[in-house]
Amino acid sequence: MPYLNRIEIQNLINIRSIQSSIIIKSSQLQPASLDLTLSNKCYRIKASFIPNNVSISSILKKLVLTKIDLNKEFLLEKGCIYLCELNERLKLPSDVKAKSNPKSTTGRLDIFTRIITENGSEYDYIDYNYNGKLYLEIIPQSFSIKLKKNISLNQIRFFQGKGNEVIQRKQNISVSIKKGFVSAYKAKKITSSISIQKINFYKKDLYWEEINPNDNSFIIEKDEFYILRSKELISIPKNSAAELEPFKDNFGNFRVHYAGFFDPGFGYTNGIPAVLELRAYDTPFIIRDGQLVGQLNYYDINSVKNFSYGKSIKSNYHNQSLKLAKQFK
């Protein structure tokens, strides 16, 4: 079961399997995914939830604390839970399903997001024949953020065919930590907010602490957020896409990588490191150079000539090493 490429996703738009309350821009179409956008309707809510055959409108009657109009930029406070209706909605055919994940920038800003569907029983997965709206749960964790309607925080991928996606190849991913070098960034406890729309604007030293270890390891602290890079160089062929699957807890007491999707052409052909988002669970934990954190699963996709991840389509992280979100300079 292959991923659908940009042209095939456009075909879904043409037959109105993907609809939107605004015009879907060509810039939303990535090599193997579609950027989803916020509508003006958003809510601060008391708790996260899964609908489980209950309508979202009836759930919101019990959970809404504040109604938010995103026609103007609004501050989403860290640690609070928000639910925003998206502009896009789906009317999927019987042989197409979908999966969503945060965009790279969303993960690097430590914004926890996941898709919720009407009557859905799990996050981020949209089954065959789904016909309905899409909602995005947003939980800023390290920084309060400012955003407004039509901003994209997550993306959606489509698969055609029945059954499970077939993994073509697997690659173990580990962290790179080097004595005497900046090996990670740790988010600072700061009250200043970040506007998603401001690119190359914020001084990183105000928001991030450099981790320069005395040996090839350091301690990740409980409830702290870190940006690291992989030891491996990632090179995704133009006829493949990949997803980073975090290892289970028995490999380490931490959560790794919120935004785990890699477009066709990422790092092709010389390879570049993957940037990893990492947060400790309940206790401090020593992480060492070469420690395994996940597995990169490769999937087939029909390549699109002259359209893959990189400078030619103005990809933000095509030449990355240990790179923070694009809002920082």
For 190-239, what is each residue's pLDDT tens digit? 989 999 999 999 999 999 999 999 999 999 998 899 999 999 999 998 88
Say yes or no: 127 and 16 in one domain.
yes
Say yes or no: 218 and 302 in one domain.
yes
Q: Would the pLDDT of 165 be above 90?
A: no
**At which of 111, 138, 160 does a domain end?**
160
- Provide the 3-class DSSP secondary structure of residue 304: coil
Say yes or no: 183 and 110 in one domain.
no
User: Is residue 326, in this structure, part of any structural domain at all?
Assistant: no
User: Is residue 273, in this structure, part of any structural domain at all?
Assistant: yes
User: Is residue 226, in this structure, part of any structural domain at all?
Assistant: yes
pLDDT at 254: 60
Q: Is the dihedral of CA 279, 281, 283, 285 positive or negative?
A: negative
Say yes or no: 23 and 78 in one domain.
yes
CB 278 within 8 Å of CB 255: yes
pLDDT in tens, 90-131: 999 999 999 999 999 999 999 999 999 999 999 999 999 999
Alpha-carbon distances of 160 from 5, 129, 237, rounded to whole Å:
11, 12, 20
Distance CA 255, CA 244 (A): 12
CATH number, domain containing residue 249? 2.70.40.10
Count of domains in the chain?
2
Q: Domain of residue 307: give its range.
A: 169-313
pLDDT at 250: 54
User: Is residue 108, in this structure, part of any structural domain at all?
Assistant: yes
* Neighbour tally for 200: CB within 10 Å: 8
Say yes or no: 119 and 34 in one domain.
yes
Q: Would the pLDDT of 313 be above 50?
A: no
Say yes or no: 231 and 140 in one domain.
no
Say yes or no: 177 and 257 in one domain.
yes
pLDDT at 291: 92
Say yes or no: 89 and 202 in one domain.
no
User: Is residue 19, in this structure, part of any structural domain at all?
Assistant: yes
Q: Would the pLDDT of 137 be above 90?
A: yes
Flag the least confident range among 11-15, 244-248, 263-267, 324-328: 244-248
Nearest to 301 by CA among 235, 212, 239: 239
Distance CA 237, CA 301 (A): 10
Say yes or no: 10 and 151 in one domain.
yes
* Neighbour tally for 60: CB within 10 Å: 15
User: Is residue 323, in this structure, part of any structural domain at all?
Assistant: no
Say yes or no: 10 and 146 in one domain.
yes
Say yes or no: 221 and 288 in one domain.
yes
Average predicted confidence (pLDDT) for the chain: 90
Say yes or no: 219 and 304 in one domain.
yes
